[in-house]
Structure 1
Amino acid sequence: MKRNYKLKSIKSILENFVDQDKISDGIFNVKIKQAWEKAVEKKILDYTKSIYIKRDVLFIEVSNPILKQEILYSRQKVIDLINDDLGKEIVKKIVLK
Structure 2
Amino acid sequence: MKKRHTEHRTISEVLKDFVTENRLEDGLDKIDARDAWAKLMGNGVNNYTTNVILKNDTLYVSLSSAVLRQELSYGKDKMIKMLNESLGKELIKHIVLR
Fold agreement, TM-score > 0.5: yes
Residue of structure 2 in register with 1:93 after alignment: 94
* 2:18 partner amino acid: F
CA distance in 1, matches of 2:87, 2:39: 11
CA distance in 1, matches of 2:45, 2:77: 16
* 2:87 partner amino acid: L
**What is the percent sequence identity of the aligned residues?**
32
Task: Render the CA deviation track for 1:36-74: whole Å, top value 9, x for unaligned.
Answer: 122214221101011021111111111111111111101
TM-score (norm 1): 0.80
For the pair 1:24 / 2:25, whether they are aligned, the reply is yes
What is the deviation of 1:8?
A: 6.7
CA distance in 2, matches of 1:32, 1:96: 15
- Structure 1 residue runs of 5 or longer lacking an equivalent are none
What is the deviation of 1:35?
A: 1.0
What is the deviation of 1:24?
A: 2.1
CA distance 1:5–1:26, shift in 2 (3 Å): closer
Q: What is the count of residue pairs matched by the alignment?
A: 93
